[in-house]
Amino acid sequence: MLQRIRTALALERNVLVLSATILLSLASIHTWYPLLPLHFRDLGASDAQVGLAYSLLTIAFALMQFAGGLLADRYGRKWLIALPTFIFVPLYTLAGAAHNWVTLLIALLITNLLSAIQWPAFMALLAESVSERRRGRAFGALEFAVSLGVALGPGLGAALLPIVGIRALIHSTAPVALLCAFLRAFSLREATHRPSPIALRSLGYLRQAGFRWLLTATCLFALTRMMTIWGPFVTLHAEDALGMSKPEINALFAVGGLAAMAASLLGGRLADRYGSRNLLIASSLGHVLAMLLWALAGNSLVGLGFFLTAGMGLQMGAVAYDALLTQAASAGSRGALLGLLGTITGLASAVAPALGAHLRVSFGSAAPFWAALGLGVATALSLLRVVSQGDEKGF
């Protein structure tokens, strides 16, 4: 029975290890991460500085992805995933001890730089651990783990926050990172990848019109996510406009994560059946519309329904997004291409927190969600110009 379940969910060894460790990591991080904008403010940051901090964090996650992808293609995937995880341990210890927002930001910036090195190897190894026809389900299993961690973390944080405080929650991420580092170092296996010389062949994709439309769509999608659930504006709107307390905000993210769990597995199957591009179009539109309706509906059951719908839409979009990107290159240059896309889209999306903060100050707390609606429509229109595997082979 267990083997049948593993087969149905594409839980090959690497998929299982990567999903399990990201579940542990995100559950620990999300005991405090939804409250990070408020913690920045408690440490002396203004709303504009909170927006700047999120922009810098986004830039940090983008900067090293191309280099990380080149290194993954040259030296393999496993150790590019495992080694940075060990370095997270002292960084989270420093973040928990920070007594001003600049020190906290510096610790998290370095963490994001290392995460950027990891991410292309992480995505490439997951894609190479399953057959192409089951790749959507593999990413669905990963996103299920992501959504479970995002659900468990805030729920646990809501219970522990009044007892231990946010600093202890940040500190607790360090031993969890150490456990994940050992699991990745001793349990992951290189898949089909053969190390290749460091080269810039992936830059040649920029000459292809179809790929340029893909790049445009991914940049817009990344901007959309930073204007909504991935950025600081949901937390700020919940406290300032809806009057929610910190434990209530954590509970909101916990319930949203639970809804997203089912969406992850469903998204994997829908991506395999209907094509990742088509699923990303639908989820991009549904997510931004539901997010705006949540912001306008207020703190009510109707508003909660819109928030859950928005989270489910974003989660299915994340599955489709991951699967779509891994289709764009051959295995020999997959890491570099994923890194290139991550760097460009990350740098593009870095303007979202600062822009959203400006819109919020100028036009009100719901303004970033109106902007996200426009970005979601632009994402869908760009994706209509992309030809993906599962629709008509290749880009």
388 in any annotated domain: no
Would you state the structure tokens that stand for residue 306, as one six-digit string?
């819109």
Query: Strand, coil or helix: what is 388?
Result: coil
pLDDT higher than threshold 80 for residue 326: no
Instruction: Report residue 25 CA to chain centroid gap.
Output: 13
- The per-residue DSSP string of 52-114 comes to HHHHHHHHHHHHTHHHHHHHHHHH-SHHHHHHHHHHHHHHHHHHHH-SSHHHHHHHHHHHHHH
199 within some domain: no
Instruction: Please report whether residue 240 resides in a domain.
Output: yes
Burial call 312-350: b when 16+ CB within 10 Å, e when fewer: bbbbbbbbbbbbbbbbbbebebbbbbbbbbbbbbbbbbb
Paired tokens of 126: 């997951």
Is 4 within a domain? no
Q: How confident is the model at residue 328 (pLDDT cuts 50, 70, 90)?
A: low
In the chain, how many domains are there? Answer: 1
Rg (CA), the chain: 20
Query: Which CATH number does the domain housing residue 113 bear?
Result: 1.20.1250.20
Render pLDDT for 46-69 as a digit per residue (tens, 0 to 9): 888 988 898 888 888 888 888 888
Contacts of 235 (CB under 8 A, 6+ apart): 34, 35, 36, 37, 38, 249
Answer whether residue 393 is part of any domain. no
| Residue 32 DSSP class | T
Residues 6+ apart with CB under 8 A from 162: 247
Q: pLDDT, tens digit, for every residue of 71-95?
A: 887 787 888 899 999 999 999 999 9
pTM of the model: 0.70
Q: Compute the mean pLDDT over every residue in the chain, rounded to the nearest whole number.
A: 83
Q: DSSP per residue over 131-184, as a string?
A: -GGGHHHHHHHHHHHHHHHHHHHHHHHHHHHHHHHHHHHHHHHHHHHHHHHHHH
Q: Is 305 helix (H, G, I), strand (E, B) or coil?
A: helix
Q: How far is CA 268 from CA 134, 199, 283, 320, 392, in A?
A: 9, 32, 13, 7, 19
pLDDT band of 146, cuts 50, 70, 90: confident
On the question of pLDDT at 201 being above 60, the answer is: no
Residue 9: pLDDT band with limits 50, 70, 90: very low
Q: Which domain holds residue 218?
A: 10-187+208-383
Number of continuous H segments (helices) and E segments (strands) in the chain: 16, 0
The predicted model gives 197-220 an average pLDDT of 68
**Inter-CA distances, 317 with 15, 341, 367, Å:** 19, 17, 22
Give the integer Cα–Cα distance in Å for 124 and 331.
Answer: 8
Span 154-197, pLDDT tens digits = 889 888 988 999 999 999 999 999 999 999 999 888 766 555 55
CA distances to 119, 153, 222, 264 from 218, in Å: 16, 28, 6, 19
User: Is 150 within the bounds of a domain?
Assistant: yes
Please report whether residue 143 resides in a domain. Answer: yes
The answer to the question of residue 146 being in a domain is yes
> How confident is the model over 329-383, as pLDDT tens digits?
655 566 667 777 778 888 888 888 888 988 998 899 999 999 999 999 999 999 9
